[in-house]
Amino acid sequence: MKTNTRFFLVFVIAALLLGACGTAAGPADKVTVQLSWFHGVEYAGFYAAIDQGYYKDANIEVVLNAGGPETNPLDEVSSGNAQFGIGSGDSLITARANGQDFVAVATIFKDNPLAITSLKSDNITSPEDLAGKTVGVYSLDLSNFNDLPFLALMSRTGLDRSSMNYALIEDFQGANEIKAGNMDAMSGMFATDQQVMSSQDGDDLNFIYYKDYGYDVYINAIFVNGEFKENNPELIRRFIQATTKGYQYAIENTDAVAQLATTYDETLDLAYQQAVMQAQVPFINNGDGQLGSMNESIWENTQDILLEFELISAPIDVSTVYTNEFTTP
């Protein structure tokens, strides 16, 4: 009788413990991520985290909203349509300077892939080599925001603005504009995409990386609004840890995640996505700290550029616009 009673008590306790374990997690947290552009392997870590069950393990249900030229991730996060957004460091500092409360909680690319591209055969390897050349830009008076990296490069290297000619970039496919004789180099290109496009066309490119000449800005930071950060720190931690795990998987399985990207947009070319994923690995993982972690000096440099070109009127405390607390394991 005592044995039966003891067995019954053990059974009841075990059942209660199992029940507690099964309900402790509760229903999955549902979050929406507003991407900064259309679907592609730039977002491979999110695709992998969904496909490999990393978000499920973290008890999170994730919806990925494609972006585009008509979508502003800051507006989507501010309105509550999305809890996480992808945006550039300069846009986040500008927003903070204008009284908006956004905080970057991780970055996809730890290094900036923006570059001035040219054909290897033209032997343009440094800013000084651009003197006397025609440079492709986004606006002939360099007033377009996308011309800011080029302006910053000239400011930091002493390259004379009047020493070059300028032409509008109209064809962003590979090196077509250069081969057509419209320009000698193209400013503000993504080294990841451009080298793949050009390689597929049989062309070899040189890259002058802006990050090597004082323009090192995070171009795809993952951000939230300040209120969400204060109210949901554990959710953010689970989300970022699962996302960085997804990017680690993507780095180790480039072809597989390229295939995943095509499931989000069937018009994507698989071979191109595979090549771009391979090309962007060094920018996602540059060997400096944890995946997704950020460097304060890059945020300070970004602010210096915005102040120099009067895009913000006064400095902010950059420590308020980013945090590494969620990328630490």
CATH of residue 256:
3.40.190.10
Domain annotation covers residue 7: no
Domain annotation covers residue 13: no
Residue 116, strand partner residues = 208
User: What's this model's pTM, rounded to 2 decimal places?
Assistant: 0.90
Question: Which positions ≥6 away from 189 have C-beta within 8 Å?
Answer: 114, 115, 116, 117, 172
Picking from 190, 213, 236, the residue at the C-terminal end of a domain is 213
d(CA 196, CA 203): 9
Residues 225 and 316 in one domain: yes
Picking from 187, 213, 239, the residue at the C-terminal end of a domain is 213
Residues 180 and 259 in one domain: no
Domain annotation covers residue 4: no
Residues 118 and 256 in one domain: no
Q: In this structure, are residues 32 and 84 in contact, taking their beta carbons and an 8 Å threshold?
A: yes
Residues 157 and 303 in one domain: no
**What is the structure's pLDDT at 195?**
87
d(CA 141, CA 327): 40
Domain annotation covers residue 269: yes
Picking from 193, 213, 233, the residue at the C-terminal end of a domain is 213
Q: In this structure, are residues 242 and 57 in contact, taking their beta carbons and an 8 Å threshold?
A: yes
Domain annotation covers residue 21: no
**Which among 223, 206, 27, 239 has a CA at the least distance from the CA of 115?**
206
DSSP string, 2-70: HHHHHHHHHHHHHHHHHHHHHHHS-SPEEEEEE-SSSSSGGGHHHHHHHHTTHHHHTTEEEEEE---TT
Residues 91 and 172 in one domain: no
Domain annotation covers residue 5: no
DSSP string, 239-275: HHHHHHHHHHHHHH-HHHHHHHHHHH-TTS-HHHHHH
pLDDT tens over the chain, length 329 residues:
444 444 333 333 433 333 443 334 699 999 999 999 999 999 999 999 999 999 999 999 999 999 999 999 999 999 999 999 999 999 999 999 999 999 999 999 999 999 999 999 999 999 999 999 999 999 999 999 999 999 999 999 999 999 999 999 999 989 999 999 999 999 999 999 888 999 889 999 999 999 999 999 999 999 999 999 999 999 999 999 999 999 999 999 999 999 999 999 999 999 999 999 999 999 999 999 999 999 999 999 999 999 999 999 999 999 999 999 999 88
Residues 279 and 240 in one domain: yes
Q: In this structure, are residues 175 and 119 in contact, taking their beta carbons and an 8 Å threshold?
A: yes
Q: Which domain holds residue 125?
A: 114-213
Say which amino acid occupies 177.
E
Domain annotation covers residue 275: yes
Residues 98 and 223 in one domain: yes
Question: Which positions ≥6 away from 3 have C-beta within 8 Å?
Answer: none
Radius of gyration of the chain (CA): 23
Residues 261 and 316 in one domain: yes
Q: How many domains does the chain divide into?
A: 2
**What is the structure's pLDDT at 2?**
43
| Other Cβ atoms within 10 Å of 308 Cβ, number | 13
Residues 224 and 315 in one domain: yes
CA distances from 28 to 46, 56, 64, 239 (A): 17, 8, 16, 12
Domain annotation covers residue 327: no
Q: In this structure, are residues 136 and 130 in contact, taking their beta carbons and an 8 Å threshold?
A: no
Residues 239 and 163 in one domain: no
Residues 106 and 223 in one domain: yes
Residues 185 and 229 in one domain: no
**What is the structure's pLDDT at 25?**
66
